[in-house]
Amino acid sequence: MIKNNTMNNESPARNIIGNGTIIKGEIESNGDIRIDGKVVGTLKSTGKIVLGQNGVIEGDVYCKQADLSGHVKGKLIVDELTSMKSTSNIEGELTTKQLYIEIGAKFNGKCEMSNTEAPKAEGKK
């Protein structure tokens, strides 16, 4: 399990999983996460998750915001805005407060729009 802990006076880290990198397991962060590689497992972020065009997530995602350009297979629970770019391919369940979908984006699954906050993506304090 990979955890990102920050002190109270530090700003949350920005994490990058680069192209060609494969991570299996659970990732928790109080900062934003950008994925251009592959993650198999669970991602939890109190910030934003950005999935690059070549990025792949197989598993569950819990975050404040999601900006998706790659492939996701699993469950997404997003507290605020989910943005699906034209190159995105999403398979699974999505719970979000707001949804933006560009022409060309692919979504196969179940979507639930929530007026209340989704379960919090709590990072380690």
pTM greater than 0.85: no
Say how many domains are in the chain: 1
Residue 4 lies in a domain: no
Residue 112 lies in a domain: no
Closest CA to 99 of 121, 67, 72, 122: 67
Predicted confidence (pLDDT) at residue 64 exceeds the cutoff of 80: yes
Q: Identify whether the C-beta of residue 55 lies closer than 8 Å to the C-beta of residue 36.
A: yes
Confidence band of 115 (pLDDT split at 50, 70, 90): confident
- 70: Cα separation from own chain's centroid: 11
Residue 35 lies in a domain: yes
Q: Identify whether the C-beta of residue 23 lies closer than 8 Å to the C-beta of residue 16.
A: no
Paired residues of 59 in beta bridges: 41
Residue 117 lies in a domain: no
Domain holding 59, by residue range, is 12-105
Residue 87 lies in a domain: yes
Residue 123 lies in a domain: no
Q: What is the pLDDT of residue 88?
A: 98
Predicted confidence (pLDDT) at residue 12 exceeds the cutoff of 80: no
d(CA 71, CA 35): 11
Residue 1 lies in a domain: no
